[in-house]
Amino acid sequence: MRWLDQFRMAMLMLFRRKTETARLNDELGFHLDQQVKENTARGMSPDEARYAALRTFGNPTQLGEEARASWSWNWLEKFLRDLRYGARTLTRSPGFALTAILVMALGIGATTSLFTIVRSVLLKPLPFRDPDTLVMVYEHFRDSTNGDGFNVVSPADFNAWREQTHGFQNMAAWRNYGFDLTGEHQELPEVVQAAGGSWNLFSVLGIQPALGRDFRPEEDKVGANQVVLLSWSLFQRRFAGDPSVIGKQIRLDSAPYQIIGVLPRWFTYPDARVQLWVPYASTFDAKSFARHDMHQSHVVARLSPGVTAAAAVNEVGALQYQMHLAHAAEPVAEEVRLRPILEDVTQDVKTPLVVLLCAVGCMLLIACLNVSNLLVARSAARRKELAVRGALGGSRLMLIGEQMAESLLICLAGGTLGVLLSFGATRWLAEHWSDLPRADSIHLDGTVLAFALGLVFLTALMAGLLPAISSTGSGIFAALQESSRSIGGSLSRATLRKTLLTVEIALTVILLVSAGLLFKSFLHLRTSNLGCVTDHVLTMKYGLPEKQYDTREKVIAFHEGLLERMRRLPGVQAAGLVSTAPGGGWDNDYVFTLPEHPSNSFQLQNDALVRSADPGYFSALEIPLISGRIFTEQERLDRDQYTVVSKKFADKFFPAENPLGQRVTVGSLRKTYEIVGVVGDTMWDVTQPIMPMMYFPILSGVPEQTGSATIVVRAAGDALSLSIPIQQQVAALDPALPVYDVLTLQQVVGKSTATQSFSATLVLAFATLSLLLAAIGLYGVLSYLVAQRNTEIGIRMALGAQRSEVLRLVLFDGLRPVLIGLVIGLVGGGTAASFIRSILYGTSPLDPIVLATMVASLLLTAVIACVLPAIRASKIEPMQALRIE
């Protein structure tokens, strides 16, 4: 029962502290009175009795304090008292407090935001069953030079893996797909991003549909009855969340599909853009489903308990090698590779996010150093006060505690403000960073708040400890002895401030260099030459459903009809059709052979991107013709055996010959083409190197190859204003055909550089803030030093020092830590640059322009911060300075 007594006391002490204090005083008073009474009884006079009692009793206040020291919650009481003192000191200099709080708010807020994003995107496990045992399996070409060596999988390879190997518990596949979605009754058509998933995909992931049922094995067959699973967002948006849609029909590319279920709201794999799922096999025809050389699928596998990932992948790899040998003339990979599913989802943003987190951590450190610096300045101004407190019996620990409470208050206020800031900032980032995977899982929660609180204490410790320790050291009483006119007073304090400043400058330089490199790389991307005109170009896409547009003639009729209508529109200077516009992505590639240069086996290097284009496309985008000619209008239907190649293609495959008239055999099409022209290179992705490219006539009209097209229109003025008139022309030809991705060419480029844009802009913002903080710090230290040395400078001038000499003296005093910091920072910056090398495009980590610019901007800022105090010093009137105090 003892704990009950203890608990009762603890509660009493916590909630009835005031009463208990009064009672303690009563108790001591009672004791004293008894003593007085006894003394009086012995015959002392009342006054005498009282003094004698007090003599034996001791100091009642101190006794009370000592008794109180044994109470529980005493630490809390002390802490609250420190906080109260801290708050009082802070409100005495609101300017300082406000600056410090704002600085900390920025630091803590930005760090919290980035932590939230990094945690949600990179660290939180995916919301699947046992996500740690899920891996992605890819093909790997041994001599692959493009990309990261993780090549998407062909359907036949996947089927062989699933049927013939047993290392994995289960294997499922998915591929991206697109549909024109319409209802049964002429509702507004729309293009939806879809995906084909093998029947076991959701059970492998551990997902149950929120409504209805999952795919069945018999539905995952080529030509089976067609069924569809809706995503939650499409279900809400297009079907108003009405559960009765299950069992009803919708039309995808004009074919009827039965809705069998709705996926859970939170299910956004592989990304939030996928609106509906159909069975994997139904996205293929029988011929392509059996092909080993068409790669487009992603394979998810679950590891078996007891089988290592290496053993499982070896088994699949052995099978893959057999298939490679069996199809030696086709692009079938030799090996397979795997990586964890989380890594697969986040690979593109991992480095940028880590870089941002480091940058923001750097900024937080700079903020801490700055506040620390400000506190040192204040403690220097309060030396006498501290000395008096120390002399009156304040222990060192108490004095340190008090100063720490001050920095804790600053950081608490800053942290609160920072969390509020980060609330908005995180949301804004998650909404506007379009390439960010798992953006929907980003939100502030308990862990983040705990993290922010931890940051508050950590920063309070970092910012407060050094000034507190240094100001309460053994030399504390020297302040009392110091005469008011002493001049070399706080030399050590100035050294401490300069050291802090050096570290601050070094960190700023690291940030500046990284920011400069990232920004230059981003500018490089944004201004990179796509290989065509990019101003006033509008692009939009459409896909002709193969069910309706099932012959070459029908496809050509639509394409040509649309081109003719568009070219007649006012404001249109030129119009063309292409399968995918420059900067619009990989689209498709063919591996080919050259009949004039026969080789024994298939060569992976004979690979080029393919585009279908109409004759007007090249002039519409001003892609230069280098030699030969463009297709003619007559090269259509089955007279389509002509190809135009890019300069890179010609240089790579015909380095010493005239490419014109040469022939190219595309194995997968079983067709040979004659090269009729060479045009300039265009980029397929601004962040990637240029690839060889082949163009085929879109007027061949082969439905599966030319049914999807991108309209490119060069406008006389504002390109976007043409989007409605063009959509009207499309609707006039086929009212059920939706267009999508209506973007100017510059927007296309912007979309593909969103991550670079974010990381460059944010790091630059952090660096600028840090520079500002460093400048404030520098200015503060130097102003303080000048104020301290007022008398000294006065004496110097009285003894004949020139004003220019004083100016130089102070200036160099301030610039010394800057220069040391700069050197350290450049070394650190070099290390940081090699770390971010992988996300730099066309920019060397030691780019001289960036380094020069950053060093110059730092020096300029530093000189400005130093000049003001230096000028003030040089204007000191010697007589006045000597007469002060």
Partner 1 sequence: MGKPSDLVQGTLDLLILKTISLEPQHGWAIAKRIQQISNEVLQVQQGSLYPALHRLEQQGWIRAKWAESDSGRQAKFYSLTAAGRAQLEREKKSWSRLSTAINLVVEGA
Looking at residue 274, its amino acid is V
Residue 61 binds to partner 1 (criterion: CB under 8 A):
no
Nearest distance from C-beta of residue 72 to partner 1, angstroms: 6
Nearest distance from C-beta of residue 210 to partner 1, angstroms: 56
Among 11, 67, 329, 856, binds partner 1 (CB under 8 A): 67
Residue 880 binds to partner 1 (criterion: CB under 8 A):
no
Nearer to partner 1, 23 or 875 (CB): 23
Nearer to partner 1, 68 or 273 (CB): 68
Residue 127 C-alpha from the chain's centroid: 21
Nearer to partner 1, 65 or 877 (CB): 65
Tell me the C-alpha distance between 369 and 363, whole Å.
10
Tell me the C-alpha distance between 609 and 598, whole Å.
21
Residue 6 binds to partner 1 (criterion: CB under 8 A):
yes
Nearest alpha-carbon partner for 317 in 328, 332, 327, 329: 332
Residues near partner 1 (CB under 8 A), total: 33
Q: Which stretch binds partner 1 (CB under 8 A): 67-75, 205-213, 586-594, 693-701?
A: 67-75
Nearer to partner 1, 35 or 502 (CB): 35
Nearer to partner 1, 39 or 422 (CB): 39
Cross-strand bridge partners of residue 574: 714
Nearer to partner 1, 12 or 569 (CB): 12
Nearer to partner 1, 69 or 787 (CB): 69
Residue 68 binds to partner 1 (criterion: CB under 8 A):
yes
Nearest distance from C-beta of residue 36 to partner 1, angstroms: 11
Nearest distance from C-beta of residue 24 to partner 1, angstroms: 8
The torsion region of residue 708 among left (phi > 0), alpha (psi -120 to 50) and beta comes to beta
Among 11, 14, 22, 69, binds partner 1 (CB under 8 A): 69
In this structure, the number of other CB atoms found within 10 A of the CB of residue 127 comes to 16
Residue 78 binds to partner 1 (criterion: CB under 8 A):
no
Nearer to partner 1, 12 or 819 (CB): 12
Q: Tokens 């987190």 appear where?
A: 357
DSSP codes joined into one string, 648-710: HHHHHH-TTS--TT-EEEETTTTEEEEEEEEE----S-TTS----EEEEEGGG--HHHHSEEE
Calculate ∠ Cα 138-269-258, nearest 5°: 105
- For residues 482, 484, 487, 489, the Cα torsion angle rounded to the nearest 10 degrees is 40
Q: Which stretch binds partner 1 (CB under 8 A): 62-70, 201-209, 485-493, 617-625?
A: 62-70
Nearer to partner 1, 36 or 822 (CB): 36
Residue 57 binds to partner 1 (criterion: CB under 8 A):
yes
Phi, psi of 696, deg, nearest 5: -115, 155
Nearer to partner 1, 66 or 187 (CB): 66
Q: Which stretch binds partner 1 (CB under 8 A): 9-17, 106-114, 263-271, 455-463?
A: 9-17
Nearest distance from C-beta of residue 398 to partner 1, angstroms: 17
Among 58, 147, 243, 424, binds partner 1 (CB under 8 A): 58
Tell me whether the omega of the peptide bond preceding residue 264 falls within 30 degrees of 0, making it cis.
Answer: no
Nearest distance from C-beta of residue 23 to partner 1, angstroms: 7
Nearer to partner 1, 27 or 564 (CB): 27
Nearer to partner 1, 3 or 185 (CB): 3
Nearest distance from C-beta of residue 5 to partner 1, angstroms: 4
Phi, psi of 691, deg, nearest 5: -110, 155
Nearest alpha-carbon partner for 177 in 67, 270, 265: 270
Residue 221 binds to partner 1 (criterion: CB under 8 A):
no
HSE-CB at 229 with a 13 A cutoff on CA atoms is: 31
Q: Name the E strands within 717-833.
A: 740-744
Nearest distance from C-beta of residue 76 to partner 1, angstroms: 14
Tell me the C-alpha distance between 216 and 53, whole Å.
96
HSE-CB at 69 with a 13 A cutoff on CA atoms is: 6
Nearest alpha-carbon partner for 220 in 263, 278, 165: 278
Nearest distance from C-beta of residue 7 to partner 1, angstroms: 9
Tell me the C-alpha distance between 774 and 766, whole Å.
12
Among 13, 210, 398, 453, binds partner 1 (CB under 8 A): 13
Among 18, 41, 43, 70, binds partner 1 (CB under 8 A): 70
Q: Which stretch binds partner 1 (CB under 8 A): 7-15, 185-193, 247-255, 731-739?
A: 7-15
Among 22, 48, 66, 217, binds partner 1 (CB under 8 A): 66
Nearest distance from C-beta of residue 10 to partner 1, angstroms: 8
Nearest distance from C-beta of residue 15 to partner 1, angstroms: 15
Among 9, 449, 849, 884, binds partner 1 (CB under 8 A): 9
The encoded tokens of residue 378 equal 């204040």
Q: Which stretch binds partner 1 (CB under 8 A): 57-65, 185-193, 222-230, 570-578?
A: 57-65
Any residues with CB less than 8 A from the CB of 373 and at least 6 apart, and which? 497, 500, 501, 504, 777, 780, 781
Nearer to partner 1, 56 or 481 (CB): 56
Nearer to partner 1, 49 or 702 (CB): 49
The encoded tokens of residue 682 equal 């265009």
The CA-atom distances, in angstroms, between 246 and each of 183, 196, 218, 241, 374 are 14, 19, 19, 11, 66
Tell me the C-alpha distance between 503 and 663, whole Å.
65
Q: Which stretch binds partner 1 (CB under 8 A): 55-63, 208-216, 525-533, 611-619?
A: 55-63
Sign of the C-alpha dihedral, residues 569, 572, 576, 578? Answer: negative
The encoded tokens of residue 71 equal 């109470």
Nearer to partner 1, 38 or 132 (CB): 38
Residue 5 binds to partner 1 (criterion: CB under 8 A):
yes
The encoded tokens of residue 147 equal 């990309």
Residue 2 binds to partner 1 (criterion: CB under 8 A):
yes
Contact at 8 Å (CB) between 350 and 122?
A: yes
Among 42, 43, 56, 306, binds partner 1 (CB under 8 A): 56
Nearest distance from C-beta of residue 85 to partner 1, angstroms: 25
Rg of the chain taking only CA atoms, in angstroms: 38
The encoded tokens of residue 471 equal 């100001």
Residue 397 binds to partner 1 (criterion: CB under 8 A):
no
DSSP codes joined into one string, 608-658: EEEEEE-TTHHHHTTPPEEEE----TTS-TT---EEEEEHHHHHHH-TTS-
The torsion region of residue 43 among left (phi > 0), alpha (psi -120 to 50) and beta comes to left
Tell me the C-alpha distance between 276 and 227, whole Å.
11
Nearest distance from C-beta of residue 16 to partner 1, angstroms: 13
Q: Interaction with partner 1 in 14-53: which residues (CB under 8 A)?
A: 23-24, 26-28, 30-31, 33-35, 37
Nearest distance from C-beta of residue 84 to partner 1, angstroms: 24
Nearest distance from C-beta of residue 2 to partner 1, angstroms: 4
Tell me the C-alpha distance between 370 and 774, whole Å.
7
In this structure, the number of other CB atoms found within 10 A of the CB of residue 318 comes to 12
Nearest distance from C-beta of residue 400 to partner 1, angstroms: 22
Contact at 8 Å (CB) between 223 and 286?
A: yes
492-530 in b/e burial notation, b at 16+ Cβ within 10 A? ebbebbbbbbbbbbbbbbbbbbbbbbbbbbbeebeebeb
Among 17, 40, 50, 72, binds partner 1 (CB under 8 A): 72
Nearest distance from C-beta of residue 46 to partner 1, angstroms: 16
Nearest distance from C-beta of residue 74 to partner 1, angstroms: 10
Binding site for partner 1 (CB under 8 A): 1-6, 9-10, 13, 23-24, 26-28, 30-31, 33-35, 37, 56-58, 62-64, 66-72
